[in-house]
Amino acid sequence: MNEQNEYNNKKVLVLGLAKSGLSVARLLVKKGAKVIVNDQQPLETNLPAQELLAEGIDVITGHHPVDVLDDSFDFVVKNPGIPYSNSMLIKAKELGLPIYTEVEVATRMLKGSIAAITGSNGKTTTTTLVTEMLKEEFSNRKVAAVGNIGVPLSSLVETSEDSDIYVTELSSFQLMGIEQFHPKVACIVNIFSAHLDYHGTREEYVNAKLAITKNQTAEDYLIYNADHEELTNLVYQHSKAQLIPFSRMKEVEDGSYADESYLYYNKEVVMSKKLIKVPGEQNVENILAAIAIAKLYNVSNQSIENAVSKFYGVKHRTQYVTEKNERKFYNDSKATNIVATQTALRSFKDQSLVLIAGGLDRGNGFDELIPDLTNVKAMVTYGETKDKLMVSAQKAALPTIETVENLKEAVQKAYQISQPGDIILFSPACASWDQYKNFEIRGDEFIESVNELN
Q: Known binder of ligand: residue 121?
A: yes
- pLDDT one-digit tens code per residue, 434-452: 999 999 999 999 999 999 9
The phi, psi pair for 425, rounded to 5°, reads -110, 120
- Domains with residue ranges and CATH for the chain: 11-100 (3.40.50.720), 107-309 (3.40.1190.10), 319-451 (3.90.190.20)
- Rounded distance, CA 133 to CA 270, Å? 13
**Pairing of the two strands 75-78 and 11-15:** parallel
| pTM as predicted | 0.81
Q: What's the pLDDT score for residue 195? A: 60
Residue 59 phi/psi, 5-degree rounding, is -135, 135
Nearest to 121 by CA among 184, 219, 192, 180: 192
- The answer to the question of whether 413 is labelled as a binding residue is no
224-233: burial string, b at 16+ Cβ within 10 Å, e else: bbbbbeebbe
CA 157 to chain centre: 21
123 is in an annotated binding site: yes
Distance CA 406, CA 164 (A): 44
pLDDT tens track for 127-160: 999 999 999 999 999 999 999 998 999 999 999 9
CA atoms within 13 A on the CB side of 55: 18
For every one of its 454 residues, what pLDDT tens digit does the chain have, with 9 covering 90 and above?
444 578 999 999 999 998 999 999 999 999 999 999 999 999 999 999 999 999 999 999 999 999 999 999 999 999 998 999 999 999 999 999 999 999 999 999 999 999 999 998 889 999 999 999 999 999 999 999 999 998 999 999 999 999 999 999 999 899 999 999 999 999 999 987 666 566 568 788 899 899 999 999 999 999 999 999 999 999 999 999 999 999 999 999 999 999 999 999 999 999 999 999 888 888 999 999 999 999 999 999 999 999 999 998 888 988 889 999 999 999 999 999 998 899 899 989 889 999 999 999 999 999 999 999 999 999 999 999 999 999 999 999 999 999 999 999 999 999 999 999 999 999 999 999 999 999 999 999 999 999 999 8
Distance, CA of 214 to CA of 283 (rounded, Å): 27
Q: Tell me the Ramachandran region of residue 319: left when phi exceeds 0, alpha when psi lies from -120 to 50, beta otherwise.
A: beta
Is residue 232 part of an annotated ligand binding site?
Answer: no
Q: Is the separation of the CB atoms in 217 and 206 below 8 Å?
A: no
Q: How far apart are CA 206 and CA 120, in angstroms?
A: 10
Query: Is 200 annotated for ligand binding?
Result: no
Task: Give the pLDDT confidence score for residue 242 in this predicted structure.
Answer: 98
Q: How many residues does the chain have?
A: 454
